[in-house]
Structure 1
Amino acid sequence: MATTTIRLDDKLKKELSKELKSMGLSINGYFNLAARQLVIQKKVPFELVTESEVPTETTRRALVEAEAKELGIIPDDSPSFANINDLKDFLDKE
């Protein structure tokens, strides 16, 4: 069997080892499992996600306002348009 070296950041390797150990897997076992699944499925065998980010104050307020309008807590007085021409007319008035 050929040996391949994989470089991992020390912090990532420590976190990865901890998570895999709780599942009864080693890092080597995990990479073999993932590689076999990629070959079988012909795609990355898991969902790719990013770390969630904490929204800024402006974003958080916008989300709260949107939910409040959706729930009818505050009136939604935003203009709506049936077609693009109505939108253009509205913007031209501004």
Structure 2
Amino acid sequence: MMNVSVRMDNTTKKEFEKFCKDVGLSISGAFNLFAKKVIREHRIPFEISSEDPFYSEENQKHLLKNIEDMKNGINCAEHELIEV
């Protein structure tokens, strides 16, 4: 076995400890379950998303197009923010 350190704020740690206790797990046990599921499924076992419009698919396409335009010598110093 090897030790792994995780940093989290005190509130999150206390709430996580309470949850783990309520379901009969230790924090270590919970992280081991998470790690084994990640390994088994080869993915993070829950959806990760951002409400920030910067990460929207439409804005990412827009940014990639601007990068391509700049590579081709087209002046793209400014662009409109795409609101989602």
> TM (normalized to structure 2)?
0.54
Tell me, yes or no, if structure 1 residue 26 matches structure 2 residue 26: yes
Which residue does the alignment assign to 1:92?
A: none
Structure having greater relative contact order (Cα 8 Å, sep ≥ 6): 2
Which residue does the alignment assign to 1:16?
A: 16
Aligned residues: 50
Structure 1: which amino acid aligns with 2:11? K
> TM (normalized to structure 1)?
0.48
Distance of aligned partners of 1:43 and 1:3 in 2 relative to their CA distance in 1, 3 Å threshold: same
Query: Structure 1, unaligned stretches of length 5 or more?
Result: 51-94
Runs of 4+ in structure 1 deviating by more than 4 angstroms, as ranges, are none
Distance of aligned partners of 1:12 and 1:24 in 2 relative to their CA distance in 1, 3 Å threshold: same
Query: Structure 2, unaligned stretches of length 5 or more?
Result: 51-84
Aligned CA RMSD, in angstroms, stands at 1.7
Matches of 1:46 and 1:9 in 2, distance apart? 21
Say which one has the larger Rg. Answer: 1
Deviation at 1:44, TM superposition (A): 1.0
Deviation at 1:47, TM superposition (A): 3.7
